[in-house]
Amino acid sequence: QVQLVESGGGLVQPGGSLRLSCVASENIFNFNIMGWYRQAPGKQRELVATINVGGITNYADSVKGRFTIYRDGAEKTVWLQMNSLSHEYTAVYYCNVQLLRRNYWGQGTQVTVSS
């Protein structure tokens, strides 16, 4: 059973930055894809960014140029660097990995952008 532990959420002012972390319980290069999703109040969960086993990244149009996803195998961690945050990025952010056609999710970390 893959376990994912997220951290790094919190309250940030508009224009600020946060870095989310997701630590996996096993070698991250076992995963086909690692990524971040978010769910805002009253909305469906949506993709934010992914990175595949080859290191190719993919971003939602709404975060391109603002967010960066990256990883480190030795630390079994994938990060999401979020810059120039605005109110619409307020959501619970979830780490996701895909392994052998199964999806695994972290518990979520709240990001609130507010002045």
Query: For the segment 36-94, what is each residue's pLDDT rounded down to a tens digit?
Result: 999 999 999 999 999 999 999 999 999 999 999 999 999 999 999 999 999 999 999 99
Across residues 93-103, what is the average pLDDT? 95
Query: What gap in Å lies between CA 76 and CA 63, rounded to an integer?
Result: 24
Q: Are 104 and 4 in contact (CB under 8 A)?
A: yes
Beta carbons within 8 Å of 25's beta carbon, 6+ residues apart: 1, 2, 3, 4, 76
Six-digit token string for 109: 């970390």
Nearest to 63 by CA among 82, 87, 45: 82
